[in-house]
Chains A and B, each alone.
Chain A
Amino acid sequence: MVRKIFAKGVLFAVNLLMALLIVAPLLYCVSVSFMTEPELFSYPPAFLPGRLQLQNYFSALAFAPVFRFILNSLVVAAACTAGQLFFGALAGYAFAMHEFPGKYWLFLLMLSTMMIPGQAIILANYLTVANLHLIDSYAALVLPYLTSAFCLFNMRQAFLKLPGELYESAALDGCGSMTFFLRIGLPLVKPQLGSLGVYTFLAVWNQYLWPLLVTNKTEARTVQIGIGMLQSSDGNAYGPIMAGVTMVLIPSVVVFLVGQKSLVSGLTAGALKG
């Protein structure tokens, strides 16, 4: 009995240590964002700020339009998420619940896009966007990521799970294909939509290389590039830099906390089959 309690205690302690190690950089970042300059440069270095003061946040906002960056990223992430979910669900619906000539080859074609890594085509995409004069536009940031084979594949799995008779009985009642999709199909696959939505939002919010390439004007830049700008312009202004990072982390961490159950179940449901 004592051994069991001891073992539990050890496991709890190790868990605690591990969790603290992992979350330490984030906690430290938030802590530093409230520190004053003397505290930052003090030796030994401070772990906690003396009191919560917002000067670093004001400095960060004065240096770079952080709220503008957040707005840009929100627009891009929301648009890409909506697009990937809708077009992925639509195509997944077509592949899962319809028969049409060439279905097998078309599906393979879509799937093959997952084999081509982004880095292999990012240069050519940049040239396409530049030649269309779309640099610094939302279109440039959104269009290449408006649909994804990952979402398509997962949505097809989701629709495959729906009973086939559902569609047939709806058709007998005179329900059109699109109406079925909007009124019956989509609501039934909400869990998968939820988890894919969280995953896609986070992935687009965290993008770095693509926004770096297709935006030049400061007002057009997104949140991660903004962080890079804060860092490279005055590398010693750690207080405002950490304040900027904290502001940028808040939306993604909130989305993660709210959607983590959905995200985890959605990610693992597909991968563990067979």
Chain B
Amino acid sequence: MTGASVRYASRRTAKARSSEASRPAARLRKPKVPLAPYLYILPSILLFGLFVFYPFIKTLSLSFFATDQGGAAGLWVGLDNYKNLVSSRDFLMSLRVTLEFAVKVVAGSMLLGFVTAILANEAVPMRSLFRTVYAMPLAVSSACITVICIFILNPTMGILNFLLGSQTRWLNDVNTALNSVAAVTIWLYIGINYIFIIAALQMVDATLYESAAIDGAGFFRKHIHITLPGISPTLFFLMIVNVLNSFQSYAQVNLMTQGGPGKFTRVIVYQIYLEAFQYNRFGAAAAQSVVLFLIMLALTLMQFRLERKVSY
């Protein structure tokens, strides 16, 4: 009897223990999982899911198909789209064009951003007006400045040829077309480069400049040895931003040259657009989009590596 009651007692205790854990009083001691934060991030998650993650996966999957005109995946072709890219002279050409374009744009816009930042950092009269002007390209759209420049670059009526006394057909000549598109793009990027560089300039330790002045360093020397290293993190950040932006350029090419003359200004994004909407080959265009993404990822990673090696 005693043994059974002991067993019964211990069984009851165990059962009582487990039921105690589920009684309301005990639950209050466990931390509640809050519902509210999940609700707050839900709209963003849904929108990202539909317009970022889903299309990313769809692009990947589409690149393995040949599609019909509605964009629906028609025929599985495996890696054929990618194989065709490697041998496609059009695509390889657009890679070369884009690379050359990016190098010119990044170099030009960072140089001009640096120059305007240095100029606007000095104490001169009307400085706030200058500062506004230097940042203003940020407000102007690529379509607007492109259309204005189309007129300025007009061979017969344009003001540039008049000022230079030349007859150059800027947008039609194989030698000048890409440079013209690059120049317009550089103008567009001056604003953002200026804004970040001048902010970085103002964080450079002023005492460094003072000791340089005592040592007799001139204008150029002090900037090469103090300023450039001092703002190098910002310069690396800007380099990445400029490269990514230039790889996504579209409006300038679409309005100024339509990829011409020949294919000399056909940048990757324009090539993708043609592939999809003119040749109706969404599968091939998707493959090119994937390659574009990989290239941009690689360039970004390379720049991070470089920064780690060079930065102070």
- Kindly state whether residue B180 has any CB partner on chain A within 8 Å: no
Q: Is the CB of B195 within 8 A of A25?
A: no
Bound-state Cα–Cα, A122 to B62, Å: 13
B150 interface residue (CB < 8 Å to A): yes
Q: Knowing A123-B286, A124-B56, A208-B142 touch, does A227 contact B157 (C-beta < 8 A)?
A: no
CA gap between A217 and B138 in the complex, in Å = 29
Chain B, interface SS category: helix
Q: Report if A115-B272 is in contact (Cβ < 8 Å); known contacts: A22-B133, A100-B33.
A: no
> Considering the complex, which residues of chain A in the window 193-210 have a beta carbon less than 8 Å from any beta carbon of chain B?
202, 205-206, 208-209
B137 and A228 contacting across the interface, CB-CB below 8 Å: no
Set of chain B residues within 8 Å of A170, measured between Cβ atoms: none
Among B12-20, B89-97, B124-132, B209-217, which stretch is in contact with chain A? Answer: B124-132
How far apart sit A10 and B289, CA to CA, in the bound complex (Å)?
49
**B196→A100 contact, CB < 8 A:** no
Contact check, A208 vs B141: say whether CB atoms are below 8 A apart: yes
B43 interface residue (CB < 8 Å to A): yes
> In the complex, what distance in Å separates the CA atom of A32 from the CA atom of B159?
11
Does B55 make an interface contact (CB < 8 A)?
A: yes
Minimal beta-carbon separation of B235 from chain A (angstroms): 12
Q: What residue in chain B is nearest A107 (Cβ atoms)?
A: B41
Q: List the interface of chain B (C-beta within 8 A of A).
A: 33-34, 36-38, 40-41, 43-45, 47-48, 50-56, 58-59, 62, 70-71, 115-116, 119-120, 122-127, 129-130, 132-145, 147-152, 157-159, 162, 187, 190, 192, 195-196, 199-200, 203, 234, 237, 244, 247-248, 250-251, 254-255, 269, 272-273, 276-277, 282, 285-286, 289-290, 292-293, 296-297
Leading 8 A-B pairs by shortest Cβ distance: A124-B55, A256-B139, A206-B141, A268-B199, A94-B40, A121-B55, A224-B143, A120-B293
Give residues in A with beta carbon < 8 Å to B. Answer: 8, 11-12, 14-16, 18-19, 22-23, 25-26, 28-29, 32, 40-41, 43-45, 47, 87-88, 90-91, 93-95, 98-101, 103, 106, 109-110, 113, 115-125, 127-128, 130-131, 143-144, 146-147, 149, 152, 177-178, 202, 205-206, 208-209, 212-213, 224-225, 227-228, 230-232, 235, 238, 241-242, 245, 248-249, 252-253, 255-257, 260, 263-264, 267-268, 271-272
